[in-house]
């Protein structure tokens, strides 16, 4: 594969994920990722600050999607309905990524430092969702509680999805998990 071929970023991401799964995150170097992708280290650093960023570079875009979808929810939507719409929008994006999202999850699960970073990302998403709800006029603690519950629902649904992605639709799993939470809070488990 020549250096002139398109989608350098995608090639780097794929090479990194494959190497992380083959050798482990800690044992993989930027040079090896670039070589596997048929690119130079310099090209790698045009796209990513370090090898962790291969796994987290899309987080800001997904957070923006969460916030904007929550803000764009109909004015009559309850706080949890606005959060559900936002989470399902992110779920649809991740559904399209398919195996890449699953590989990413396996790499993160195998590394304590990456798991911690993933938790920080989820906390950031919850904070952003809570801020969006406040902008919709939802008072605290309702805004914070709804956002945190929504992120918990997302995490449970995502874990179910990565285990059997071809059998399950992630946005649907998010909806089902939210329904299960509603049933539990209503005393119907």
Instruction: List the domain boundaries for the chain.
Output: 8-54, 58-185
34: closest CA among 16, 60, 7?
16
Tell me, what's the pLDDT at 102? 83
* pLDDT over 50 at 1, yes or no: no
pLDDT band with cut points at 50, 70 and 90 for residue 189: low
| DSSP H/E element including 96 | helix 79-97
CATH 3.40.50.720 corresponds to the domain 8-54? no
The structural architecture, per CATH, of the domain 58-185 is Orthogonal Bundle (1.10)
Give percent of the chain with pLDDT exceeding 90: 80
3-class SS of residue 158: helix
What are 20's two structure tokens?
């992380």
* pLDDT over 90 at 129, yes or no: yes
Q: What's the mean pLDDT in 169-182?
A: 92
* pLDDT over 50 at 78, yes or no: yes
Tell me, what's the pLDDT at 5? 61
Q: What's the mean pLDDT in 47-76?
A: 95
More confident residue, 32 or 165: 32
Q: What's the mean pLDDT in 55-69?
A: 95
């Amino acid at each position: 594969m020549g250096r002139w071929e398109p989608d350098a970023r995608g090639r780097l991401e794929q090479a990194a994920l494959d190497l992380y799964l083959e050798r482990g995150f800690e044992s993989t170097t930027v040079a090896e990722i670039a070589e596997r992708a048929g690119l130079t280290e310099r090209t790698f650093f045009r796209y990513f600050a370090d090898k962790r960023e291969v796994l987290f570079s899309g987080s800001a875009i997904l957070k923006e999607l969460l916030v904007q979808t929550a803000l764009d929810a109909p004015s009559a939507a309850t706080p949890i309905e606005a959060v559900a719409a936002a989470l399902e929008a992110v779920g649809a994006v991740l559904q399209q990524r398919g195996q890449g999202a699953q590989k990413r999850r396996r790499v993160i699960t195998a590394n304590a430092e990456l798991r911690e970073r993933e938790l920080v990302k989820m906390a950031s998403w919850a904070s952003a969702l809570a801020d969006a709800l406040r902008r919709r006029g939802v008072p605290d603690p309702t805004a914070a509680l709804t956002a945190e519950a929504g992120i918990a629902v997302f995490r449970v649904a995502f874990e179910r999805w990565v285990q059997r992605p071809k059998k399950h639709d992630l946005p649907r799993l998010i909806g089902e998990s939210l329904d299960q939470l509603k049933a539990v809070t209503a005393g119907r488990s």
